[in-house]
């Protein structure tokens, strides 16, 4: 009895008719929604030769004819190899962008031209941000394909975003609003909003932060995500929020910010708590991300060093001189944080 291949291994099938290479080697690829389909990766003259090719494919799928790698194949492997290196938020945006490329899933990647990439951007009928994410995704896939010798031209470099960038509707907290928060800082979860304003972290960077990422001895947080510039960045603890930080650590189990049940805040539960706190000081709608805007705006208004602000925010400096040659110490970052009065 013939031995059955394990699930997901692939298959060898003999085609009908008089062919020089009648055995087709097929493997299963999956789209973004998890739907699998079998696609041919090569053909062979004998079953034995076909089984050898299939074995080699499973050892290293990219040793097979690169002409046959589809967009779906490339994306699946890129997601597996490169995806874990990206921040959660960035990866989520790129996954959503991939859905707008559906018409090209089955197309051989090296046959995809710039105008087809551009069509996925122009025809998505979405905002500037979505179009920008699609363009960024094509850049990631092109780089990966170039690395694997699947392509020798990176057409993604010829694409552009046609939609106009919307001006941000987020507004920083005013000094009056921040002072109002300090006056009620003994109220439930007001400390979280102030910690948010005085650190500049993104929401999920704060909610995902564990207790061991808070260094009380050296008085800094070490956290961050989303990009190489943002990951594991050091943000000194401002003296005004130090009592909040110590109190949170004393009662926390694993995560720095925990709910009443002693477990990690879920994003939407946090939003509800946020609304309660903001209602204490203003009737205006304020989003959590506006705390991050406040952090950068206040530091910029206080004349903070641009390189230090970028490092604290987890941004890549736009000035190549600052990005490559300008290095800052923890002491200089602390001096910048202290500009927050």
73-158 CATH: 1.10.150
Per domain, the residue ranges of the chain are 11-64, 73-158, 175-337
The CATH code that applies to domain 175-337 is: 1.10.443.10
* Beta partners for residue 233, in sequence order: 223
* Residue 289 near residue 282 (C-beta atoms within 8 A): no
pLDDT value of position 327: 44
All residues at 6 or more sequence positions from 149 whose CB lies less than 8 Å from its CB, including other chains: 66
* pLDDT range class, residue 37, cuts 50, 70, 90: confident
DSSP 92-159: HHHHHHHGGGGGGTTSBGGG--HHHHHHHHHTT---HHHHHHHHHHHHHHHHHHHHTTS-S--GGGG-
CB atoms within 10 A of CB 239: 13
Residue 321 banded pLDDT, cuts 50, 70, 90: very low
**Could you report the per-residue pLDDT of 176-232, keeping only the tens digit for each?**
999 999 999 999 999 999 999 999 998 889 999 999 999 999 999 987 665 444 467
The CA distance from 161 to 96, in Å, is 17
Mean pLDDT value across residues 68-84 = 88
Gap between the Cα atoms of 312 and 328, Å rounded: 11
Q: How far apart are CA 200 and CA 235, in angstroms?
A: 9
**104 pLDDT higher than 90:** yes
Q: Does position 1 have pLDDT exceeding 50, yes or no?
A: no
| Spatial distance between the Cα atoms of 231 and 227, rounded to a whole number of angstroms | 6
pLDDT grade for 117, boundaries at 50, 70 and 90: very high
Lowest mean pLDDT, pick from 48-57, 178-187, 277-286: 48-57
pLDDT band for position 314 (50/70/90)? confident
Give tens-digit pLDDT for 127-154: 888 999 999 999 999 999 998 889 999 9
What value does the mean pLDDT take over residues 262-287? 92
pLDDT at 33: 58
What average pLDDT score do residues 81-93 get?
Answer: 84
Task: Please list the alpha-helical segments (H only) found in 148-263.
Answer: 175-183, 190-197, 203-207, 242-251
């Amino acid at each position: 009895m013939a031995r059955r291949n394990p699930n997901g291994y692939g298959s060898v099938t003999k085609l009908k008719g008089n062919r020089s290479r009648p055995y087709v080697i097929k493997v299963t690829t999956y789209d973004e929604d998890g739907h699998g389909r079998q696609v041919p990766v090569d053909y062979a003259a004998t079953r034995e030769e076909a089984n050898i090719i299939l074995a080699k494919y499973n050892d290293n799928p990219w040793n097979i004819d690169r002409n046959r790698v589809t967009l779906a194949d490339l994306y699946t492997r890129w997601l597996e190899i490169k995806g874990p290196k990206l921040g959660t938020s960035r990866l989520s945006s790129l996954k959503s962008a991939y859905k707008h490329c559906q018409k090209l899933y089955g197309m051989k990647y090296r046959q995809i031209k710039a105008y087809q990439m551009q069509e996925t951007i122009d025809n998505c009928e979405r905002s500037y941000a979505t179009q920008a994410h699609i363009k960024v995704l094509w850049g990631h896939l092109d780089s990966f394909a170039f690395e694997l010798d699947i392509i020798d031209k990176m057409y993604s470099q010829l694409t552009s975003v046609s939609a106009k960038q919307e001006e941000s509707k987020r507004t920083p907290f005013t000094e009056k609003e921040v002072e109002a928060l300090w006056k009620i800082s003994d109220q439930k979860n007001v400390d979280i909003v102030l910690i948010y304003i005085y650190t500049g972290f993104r929401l999920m960077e704060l909610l995902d932060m564990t207790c061991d990422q808070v260094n009380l001895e050296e008085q800094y947080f070490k956290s961050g995500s989303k990009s190489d510039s943002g990951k594991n960045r050091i943000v000194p603890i401002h003296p005004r929020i130090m009592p909040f930080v110590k109190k949170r650590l004393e009662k926390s189990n694993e995560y720095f910010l925990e709910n009443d049940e002693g477990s990690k805040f879920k994003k939407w539960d946090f939003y509800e708590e946020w609304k309660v706190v903001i209602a204490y000081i203003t009737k205006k709608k304020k989003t959590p991300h506006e705390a991050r805007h406040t952090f950068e705006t206040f530091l910029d208004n206080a004349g903070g060093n641009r390189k230090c602000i970028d490092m604290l925010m987890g941004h890549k400096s736009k000035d190549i001189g600052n990005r490559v040659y300008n290095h800052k110490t923890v002491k200089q970052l602390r001096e910048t944080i202290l500009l927050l009065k």
